[in-house]
Homo-oligomer: A and B are copies of this chain.
């Protein structure tokens, strides 16, 4: 983070026509943008939601309430502008890019084999870095992939300890029987891969999915390119958690956009040291929670940049 830019924002904030601290986390947001963009006058001119989509072999085990074909159908829906994330991006003036990750080649069923080869995982991670191309100044990585809450839950259990039930949720809408099946499937995977789950990149390869690898790449590239990142929910944070396990500093540029209603996301955010901006009971993915939070970020920046100072507005100061 850029200390000079942070200090500049704090100095200006102290002069704005409001009691010190009265904008709460909006002030924190302005500081975060400045520190990570490395600009004394932070800007958001090209915010982007980057949605990574992949398919999961483990769906064969009945871990989702929706059929695997929905991943492709929803990508077509994104292209046609009909999904929730399209509406939120339009409402808040956010760009949207979709990264389709070999949908015709689902990952392998992770109860029977590693989900990916090493070069698949690594190649997808590198491909995800392209999300920061084009001069974007704020990034929200999102995802689509039927079955991917199972991959995320498996990753959390591997990183933080099991059993699966400690981390899972109902995903797109499992009933009790479906949830029990999902837990059993993930516990079986954890047993199958036992002894090989100490390294975060190996956890990604064995239990993850392409969209999780892609989001990791996007977050890493953003860290290097001075692009602040807003974290989305339960699945997006599996990518953040893997990076965090490699080095907490790898996600220092990330702010949590929202806390999901899915699974143990609140617990995950606490482990990552991130306090969510929004808590609205959402559990959709697609980057939808982070995109909503971009509305807050834009308003926070508008306040910081556009407000008058006590001097310019002729307003008396505190105890004045």
Contact = CB atoms under 8 A, between A and B. Distances in A.
B173 A306 contact: no
A74 interface: yes
A22 B316 contact: no
Interface string A287-320: 0100010011011001101111000111111111
A24 B77 contact: no
A225 interface: no
Contact of A18 (B81, B284, B316): B284
Interface string A247-291: 000000000000001000000000000000111111110001000
A313 B66 contact: no
A295 B302 CA distance: 13
How many copies of this chain does one complex carry? Answer: 2
Interface string A9-40: 00000001111111111100000000000000
Contacts of A246: none
Contacts of A90: 302, 306
A303 to B, nearest CB: 5
Interface in A70-125: 70, 73-74, 76-77, 80-84, 86-88, 90-92
A69 interface: yes
Interface residues on A, range: 35 or more
A160 to B, nearest CB: 25
Given A80-B308, A88-B302, A295-B92, A19 B73 contact: no
A76 B314 contact: yes
A312 B317 CA distance: 58
A24 B281 CA distance: 4
A316 B73 contact: yes
A299 B91 contact: yes
Nearest to A314: B73
Contacts of A172: 19, 22, 318
A245 interface: no
A65 B81 CA distance: 51
Nearest to A318: B65
B73 A307 contact: no
A92 B308 contact: no
Contact of A313 (B21, B23, B73): B73
Interface in A142-185: 171-173
Given A314-B76, A316-B67, A82 B26 contact: no
A284 B319 CA distance: 17
A277 B74 CA distance: 28
A82 B261 CA distance: 38
Contacts of A277: 280
Contact of A283 (B24, B80, B83, B288): B24
Interface of A: 16-26, 65-67, 69-70, 73-74, 76-77, 80-84, 86-88, 90-92, 171-173, 261, 277-284, 288, 292, 295-296, 298-299, 302-303, 305-308, 312-320
